[in-house]
C-alpha cells in the first residue's frame, strides 16, 4: 500500500483482503461519504488518524487491525500487497 490516495476506504479490499463494508456488514446506502479515500485517514505526519477512524467506524474492533497496518515512510504510488 502507498499513501491510500487511490484506495477507496469503504469499497476496496484493503483490510484483511475485504472491503470495510463487508467486514462491518454495512449497507452502502447508509454511508454518507462512500467516496472517501484511505489517505483521508492518514495525518500529514504519516500516522493513522485514530480519532477520525474511531468516529467514522463507530469504535469498531477493526480499527485495531487498521492501525496495525504499517504506513510507508516515503511517498509512493498505491499498490496491492
| pLDDT score, position 77 | 55
- In the predicted model, is pLDDT for residue 15 greater than 90? yes
Q: What is the biggest distance separating any 2 CA atoms in the chain, rounded to whole angstroms? A: 35
| In the chain, domain spans | 1-74
Q: Give alpha helix (H) positions in 1-81.
A: 20-24, 50-56, 62-67
- In the predicted model, is pLDDT for residue 27 greater than 60? yes
| pLDDT score, position 74 | 60
- In the predicted model, is pLDDT for residue 34 greater than 80? yes
Tens digits of residue pLDDT in 39-78:
999 999 999 999 999 999 999 999 999 999 998 776 555 5
Cβ–Cβ under 8 Å, residues 79 and 2: yes
Q: Report helix, strand or coil for 38.
A: helix
Amino acid at each position: 500500500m502507498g499513501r491510500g490516495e487511490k484506495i477507496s476506504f469503504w469499497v476496496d479490499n484493503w483490510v484483511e483482503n475485504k472491503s470495510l463494508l463487508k467486514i462491518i456488514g454495512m449497507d452502502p446506502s447508509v454511508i454518507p461519504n462512500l467516496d472517501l479515500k484511505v489517505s483521508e485517514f492518514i495525518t500529514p505526519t504519516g500516522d493513522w488518524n485514530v480519532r477520525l477512524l474511531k468516529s467514522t467506524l463507530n469504535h469498531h474492533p477493526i480499527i485495531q487491525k487498521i492501525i496495525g497496518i504499517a504506513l510507508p515512510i516515503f511517498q509512493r504510488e498505491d499498490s496491492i500487497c
